[in-house]
Structures are given as structure tokens and as C-alpha cells.
Amino acid sequence: MNRFLFFILLLTPINFIVADEGMWEPSQLPNIEKDIRAAGFKGNIKKFSNLFEHPLNAIVSLGGCSAAFISNSGLIATNYHCIEGSYLQFNAKRMEKDLFKTGFLAKSLSEEAPSAPGARVYITQESTNVTNEVLKGTNDSQSENDRYQIIQTNRKNLIKNCETSEEFQCEVRGFYSGETYQLIKKLIIKDVRLVYAPPQSIGEYGGEIDNWMYPRHTGDFALLRAYVSPDNNSKEYSQDNVPYQSENFLKISKKGVKENDFVMIAGYPGRTNRLLTYPEIRFDVQFGFENYVEFLKSGIEVMRSLTENDEAKALKYRGSISGYENYYKKISGQIEGAKNFNLLKQERQNWNSFLEFIEASGTSAEKDAIDNLLEITNEVNSESLNNMYYGGSTLIGTASTLYRHAYEKTKPNSAREPGYQERDYERLVNRMRSMEYRFDAEVDKGIFLYRLNRYRDVDSKDRRKSYSRLLELDAPYENTVSVVDEMYAYPSDLLDTNKRIKLLDASLDDLNKSSDPFIVFVREIFEEGMEREKKNKARSSLQQKNKSIFIKSLRKFYKSLNKDIYPDANGTLRVTFGNVMGVELNDGVYYKPFTTLEGISQKNTGISPFEVDVKQLKLISDKEYGSYKFNEVGSVPVNYISNLDITNGNSGSSTLNTRGEFVGLAFDGMLETIISDYKFIPQTRTIHVDSRYLLWTLEVYEKDTRLIDEMVLVR
């Protein structure tokens, strides 16, 4: 137990979960009803905790962002930044028009624009605990690889039996790091169209400068619409399709919210790290963050240099650069937040309190599991640093997907790896198509060469052997450049959309005969990759087994304190609650809860990202507030902050009042407290776009009546 006891440094009581902390599963809400009531909730808690009753049955996922139905004709509200790639970027190429600058407003159903292939709306239909089914037979496994395969087979069988038609997609999600599993069935809407996106001067006002910052004045909202066939089946885009009749939708509050009002968010947060062991957190803070920030910063610089002075290339990589910038600023904020809130000191104390509890009352199995888990963690962390700059070529990645798909097709469908079964074919086709508006060969080569030059710095014994040999990474850099230049000079079928898609039907024999340098390359590294995958699968099985025991121990510890724990975010529907309120983060500096239209004018410099168009400036100057003036601020509120607990993936989540009415959209957090992904900070604030600003933009700025009339507005 030496490694186990090594981490016992200082014993202090663990911090309790504060009232507004937590991204809770809806079914957990009755357990914390007292805290929810204390925050001001006056509704029916059982109704609000049921995925299949209003308002939660109006909440949907876009597969990375959250959204909600806001009319009975399939109208959907989400964030502007959630629709940039698959809707604005795609249609900008299709229409040969910069929709980011102009915005987009469909004046009729016939003008609503299609999405990029693969864009979807997911509506949760069922959620069932399947822990026993997933782990069935694992006790009889002969090895960790065998155990991994048993779990995967069980998962695939559950999914196969769940997907009763092509309209449904099922998945098995692990909760509490694999302590429990749920089978989630979702209806897929395959025809989703762009209805409204404001110009970027509204939708991303402030740009990267204001990202993660407050006070904020961003109209981060957009509207989509779900379509189905005339017989109400989910079908791909067709002019014959009709708007989806969404029986469950949110009413829009014209009254909005005021300071201290109860609010809650329902959405699909991506990932948090609050159930990590202390050594995992320590690694991220001391090593992971800094290395990732450097990776992102250099990536931004490379993509910008490769696309400058070329509008077509810049448009294709706009989303990639924006994504890198977003995470660069976030991780930079986490570095500062970890220092400012003494994250390591607090988490070390919490960890030691837990270890003291386990040492006194835990079983030998629990103690061994923690030892094993820490050993696995050290190995994974070391590899993550070594592999940070591995890869980077979209063409090699595409060739790898095609080759793996051909390899998996040699097996019965039930034995194929997830991602390469018959159910995944449509997704693979759409991936091939997406390169049309997200890829440029010269830019791709430049990114790849930069990454290779950085990967060369990794000790040769820690690099991938066949990969390094083929790319001559141990030779002078000029040799590597020559190899890559020759590969990219080849007239590869991968550069043509139709040929790429056709290659999905190629057999393994066909690809083994190919002279395409990218296919040849992935064929040469395939065996090494499969060996690494085998090792990782065994490690994954061992990690899940020990993490499950750790979580049970942690749950027992919290129970001794009369507390409950909530699972880390994992892309499933969650609810968080709290109040509209300002915050003081620095001495003497208080952030008020609301910003107004006048703040937009005050920030205006006439230069992007603080460039306001003349029409909006005049409306603000003339105090054209319509019916959306909020007397307490003397104007139309633009953004507001609350103490709600969110993370990435919550983007586009609807903010609800105590009656379940739509009062805004969550779209960002504050940089100072972004470390809350690891530990909830009481000063954490979520930034929302106010429902009144959305309505003002449509009615007063756009002079639209079609969409306003479609919504149900309440006071």
C-alpha cells in the first residue's frame, strides 16, 4: 500500500457540494428538491425531472450542441456558433455568398436552406439502465482483451435490438466512469434546415476578444427547422418533406427574467472532470494544460499563415481556427483559474480525506483498485504527451478510415468494430462529403509538415515505429519534406468526392492492390496500429474495472457525509439550476447581471469584431426598443449571467424559468472561473443571451413577422 499511502499528505474535511453545483440527471432532481426549492423553483419537481414530459421533452441535441423546439412546426433555437460549419459555411459555398457577413433569413418555408450532409437533430425517446447486460459474462473472461470484447459484444447486441428502424439511433453510455451504463434511444431527424442566422456583427459580436469574457453583448442565437416526409418519417433532404410537427415545444417569455430569478438549463453537456483522482488533476494542471495550450497556439498560427490572403481557403478553415481559438482561450483560463482558486491544494486535501476514509474502512479490493488506477493513469498521461503532434494529415486520416472499413467488411457485421458496421455507412459517406467545404490539399500538407516536425522531437523509442520509418523522421527534415511532397503531388482519388465515396465499397483486396501513396502508407502502418489498439483495449478494460470500484468507494465516502454525487457530463441530457445574479471576482469590481443594447454602441469601433452595422446603430440611438424594454435596465437586455453550472456541449441549451418557459440560451462561461470543469467554483457564472434580445432582433432589426407569429409568446 505504499503508493496508496504516498498521497496522504494533509488531512482536512472535504468540501461539500454547494446548492447550485451539479449537472444532474433529471431523475436525480427529486433527491435534491430542497436545494431546488431554496433557489426559488415553484413548479412540479416530478414533471421537471421526467425526460418525456414538458419542458424536457422539448430539449434536443445537435450532436455536439444543445437546442430546443420553440414551435409546433419544428422550429428550433440554438446558438449561432453551433451552426457555423454545417449550416453557414456549407451554404456559403453552395450559394457563393459570405453568409457570415450578411446573415441569413428565410422569408418562407421554401427559402429555408439545407444543412451539410450528416447534420442531425436527436430527440431522446428512451433511457434504460443496462449495467447488468453490459457487464454480463465479464467475470468469466480469460484476459483483459477478452473482457473488453465481451463488453463490446454486449453493447453491440443491445444497440442492434434497440434500433428497430433507420429512424432511430441507439447508444450505450457509461456513467460514473463505467460504474453504470444506460441504453439511450433517440429519434433522428435527418432533414434540418437553416431558418435564421443574424450577421456576424450580431451573432459573434466581439469575436475572439470577447470570448469567455463579460460584460458581453453577443446575439449568439440562430434558428433551424426539422423536416420529415409527408407520412411523418425521418428522411434525408427532399423538397417533398414537410415541417416536423413537434407536439412538445417551449413557449417564449417576453417578460424574461430579472435579478435573483430562478433559472434552470436543460441540455447535453459534453464532458467534465470532477470525478478524477487527484494525480490525474495534478498532471493536467502541471503538464497537460501547458502542453495543450502550446499545441493550440501553434495550430492557430499555422492555419492562419496557410490561409491568409486566400478567402476560399480561409472560409474552409474558419471553423477549425475558431475551434482552436476557443479551446486555447479556455485552457489558458483554466491555467490561471487553477492558480487563483488554489485547485491543487484543495483537491489534494479532498483526496487525502477520501484516502483516510478508505484506509480506515475500505476493503483490500478498494485499496488495490486505487493503486491499479493510478498506475494506468501514469501510463496514459505519458503517452498523451508523446502523441500530441502525431497525425495531422486529413488525407492520411481519410485513407485510414477507408482501409479500416474494408478490413472490417471481411468480418460478419456483428463482429465489426463500432464505427464500421452497416449502421455506420451513412455517417462514413457524410464524412467523405464534408471534405468539400472543410479541406484544402495545400493547407493540409502544411499542417501535416508542421506536426511532423514537432513529432520528431519525441524520443524515437516513444514514437510509432513504422510511421517514423516511412516518413523518415530520424533523417534530416528535408527527407521528410520530400516524402510528403511526393505523396501530396500524386493525383489521388481521395481528392475527388465521388471517388472517395466509391472507395467505401472497395474490398480489402482492391485497396491492397492500390498504388495511391496514401492507401499504401496506411497499409504499411496498419499492423502496428492494430497492435497498439489491442494494448489500449486491454488497458481500457482494466481501467474501467478499477475506476468502477473507485467510484463505488467515492459514493460510499460521500454517503458518510450525507451527500450525493452526480456523474460527470457525458453528452446525455442534464439539468442545472440557480439564479440570475452578478458577481465580484476582483476586489472592487462588480459585474452587473444584465448588459443592454447601449453597450453594443459603446463597444463599436467600426472595425471587426466590434463593428456594428448602421441599421442597428440607428435603432439603438433612436431607442427603438419595440415591446422588449426591461425597465430595470432602461433598455433591451442583451446578455445576462447566472450561477448555473455548465460546460462545453451546453452551448445552445435553453434557459428556462420556474414555469418552464424559454428565457434565453446559454452560450458561454467566464474565463476567471472556467476551471470549474474540474472543480465547481461558487463564483462560476454562465452567460446567456436574453430571449428579449432574440425577439427584438427578429421583430425590430429584421422586421420579421413570420417567425414571431409562429412562436407562442407569453408574459
220 noted as active-site residue: yes
651 noted as active-site residue: yes
66 noted as active-site residue: no
Residue labelled with grid coordinates 443571451: 689
Q: Of the residues 86, 492, 540, 651, which is catalytic?
A: 651
The CA-CA-CA angle for residues 184, 190, 196, to 5°, reads: 110
Residue-wise over 586-614: b if at least 16 C-beta within 10 A, else e? eeeeebebbbbbbbbeebbeeeebbebee
236: part of which helix (H) or strand (E)?
Answer: none
What contacts 556, CB < 8 A, 6 or more positions away? none
How far is the C-alpha of 688 from the C-alpha of 655, rounded, in Å? 8
Grid cell in block for residue 196? 435564421
How far is the C-alpha of 499 from the C-alpha of 521, rounded, in Å? 19
How far is the C-alpha of 418 from the C-alpha of 173, rounded, in Å? 13
Closest CA to 652 of 186, 67, 200: 67
Closest CA to 686 of 710, 660, 662, 666: 666
How far is the C-alpha of 277 from the C-alpha of 321, rounded, in Å? 32
What contacts 227, CB < 8 A, 6 or more positions away? 74, 189, 191, 192, 193, 237, 241, 242, 243, 244
Q: Residue 356, class by beta-carbon neighbours within 10 Å (0-12 exposed, 13-18 middle, 19+ buried)?
A: middle
**Are 552 and 161 spatial neighbours (Cβ–Cβ below 8 Å)?**
no
**AA identity, residue 44:** N
Q: Of the residues 35, 220, 444, 668, which is catalytic?
A: 220
**Are 649 and 65 spatial neighbours (Cβ–Cβ below 8 Å)?**
yes
**AA identity, residue 133:** E
Long-range Cβ contacts of 479-484 (<8 Å, 24+ apart): 480/449, 480/452, 480/453, 480/456, 481/449, 484/445, 484/448, 484/449, 484/452
Grid cell in block for residue 681? 467554483
Q: Of the residues 49, 71, 73, 81, which is catalytic?
A: 81
What contacts 673, CB < 8 A, 6 or more positions away? 337, 341, 585, 681, 683, 684, 685
Residue labelled with grid coordinates 534530416: 476
How far is the C-alpha of 161 from the C-alpha of 125, rounded, in Å? 15
Residue-wise over 265-292: b if at least 16 C-beta within 10 A, else e? bbbbbbebebbbbbbbbbbbbeebbeeb
How far is the C-alpha of 458 from the C-alpha of 386, rounded, in Å? 6
Strand-pair partners of 179:
none
Strand-pair partners of 574:
267
Helix (H, G, I), strand (E, B) or coil at 192: strand
**Are 32 and 16 spatial neighbours (Cβ–Cβ below 8 Å)?**
no
- Three-state secondary structure string covering 103-141: CEECCCHHHCEECCCCCCEEEEEEEEECHHHHHCCHHHC
Helix (H, G, I), strand (E, B) or coil at 272: coil
Annotated catalytic residues are 81, 220, 651
